[in-house]
Chains A and B, each alone.
Chain A
Amino acid sequence: MGRELPPMHKYIIRRLLLTVVVILGVTLLTFLSIHLAGDPTFFYVSERASAEERQAARERLGFDRPLHVQYFDFLINLARGDTGNSLAHRVPAFDVVMERMPATLELTIGGFLLSTIVAFPIGVLAATRRGTMTDGTLMLGAMLGQSMPSFWLGLMFILFFGVTLRWMPVSGHVPFIKPLLEGRVDEALLNLPNAIRYLLMPMVAVSVYSISRNSRLIRSAVLEVLRQDYVVTARAKGLNERTVMIRHAIRNALIPIVTVLALQFAFLLNGVIVVETVFSWPGVGRLVFDAVNQRDVPLVMTAVVLLSFLFVGANLIADLLYGFLDPRIRLE
């Protein structure tokens, strides 16, 4: 009789199995979408190609096979770790995506950290000053932040900080994570100041919406908790306000916040497509956008699979954090 796995392990295994289902669903939808938009072969033949040449190209690229065969072949190859060659780049699609992934992670993680760090004090401050001028001003700012598209905001940043004031570089990227991952720590550290300089404007542009949304959410969550009896009790016991806020209010408000923050990470991954284009940021978002336009099926599918893993991973981390934040939540 084998030893029973701890509940946490079981939970993680169950979530990983669920991940497979999610990935299957996402890849199927992506695959159908890209094929419903027309025959990709037309992008990989000359305008002068005859019908015979087009058919030959279709066969060479494998687009002549029934869709379900193409999809199952993709899945089989995916299981073997082979997602095929990019049609436009003519090299393995996995390599193309992975060489862009560090830049996207820099932007996403930077945006995530910024939105969390900035949204928290704004939300808590607004909650503790509820109904005052401070609360009104902060929430008005949050509403404006949610209303501004990141594309427009990015261009305004470029115009004001890049062109008019010349304080910030207009566009471009200096790598930090990539040399770090490749073991070139010295280079990464040397690049860090410039990396931040180039990251700053796109990071702010990508996170303004999140900052606004998170600060409103944090305000609501904290307000909700502040109404609870245990907070009143804590105050009645004579605890100082700082202890009440940190030990009793904020910690209890964290669960809905963590849920949204995890989803926020996924949202930021989506949002970087536009911001990467505006700031010439060499990330996966821009790559996928181009690949969709070029009907580069293997590249789109590979990127979607990898991004799906990131999405699911972020949500898994959030789920695991629940147990840490609130011991009443069991993972069984």
Chain B
Amino acid sequence: MNRQTILIIVLGIIGILLPFIFPAYKLQISFLWILIVLALTWDIQGGQMGYNTFGNILFFGIGMYLCASIQVGMFFPLSEWTASGGEKTFVHEPDQFFQGFFVGILAAGLVPAIIAALIGYGILGLRGHYFAICTLGLGIAAGEIAGGIELIGAGQGMTVPPWPKGIGDTELRAEFFYFLSFILMVITFLFLKWAYQTRFGLILNAIRDNEDKAEAMGIPTMRYKIIGWVITAFFVGIAGGLMGNMVGYIEPVEVAFAGATLGVFMILMTILGGKGTLWGPVIGATVFHLFKEGFWTYFLGWQYVALGLLIVVIVVFFPEGLMGWIREKYPEKFGETVDEEDQKSSVEL
């Protein structure tokens, strides 16, 4: 066992214990796990593959709407549920709730993955900022279109089935979603840790460093780009399904396709932590979440000023992120040897 494995195990145990140490913070920490998933998956494209996307929020929103719609639609007519003027109240029995939830979460992962596979060929053929802007358009269009569809509540938004009555209180609900989001985060992390060590990870990096050369060497780059996007879509979709249930109310452009908030935050968190590294997104998301929640408490009304400044400072002074900064300071901790002679000679140049 090397140190990293120990660290992962220690952090894992802490993750399991956290809801019991800080019971009041369960939901907030659950959001942190979701943020980490978003940052980790953004890094597949943005960090490892060199494709800066604004569009991951598309899968997030689809996952969220799909999960909620299935949870409701499996047992009740969806249109009556979302019709705001409806006089009926529908109550989910506990087993209905859990059946619906698990089918919903599954679909929330699979369907975005399929969509990513279908549109990937067209979109991933774009490069540079054209790719960024195309994905931005996708995210915004999705939000606007979702806001026009009556079946899922249109601009009214839709509510997610509430936690069924009669099985435990809100603490149980918070624990349920805490551990689900924690497990999702752990699986995403371990999966990516493994994936980056395989040929797949190397190919992603090759695409980032020089796509044309990679292609010339006979690597079917498009196939790998699509696979990368499918992985992203899968995890982000599940995260969306979970988030929808945790928030309880889905609004098209604020909760589901929240490009202006979450869509940008996932990028910021990754850059803050250091893109192209495995731990960067984790650290970035944690620090960002802490900062942000702190701003809300202490800078009421000023939190946007503080956040804006923070963003500017991050990208201007730490474009390589915290990990990059640490790496530069303590390269030996990363198993990198510094050639003193080489360093000297480069200085003298």
Do these two chains interact?
Answer: no
Q: Which residues of B come within 8 Å of A, CB atoms?
A: none
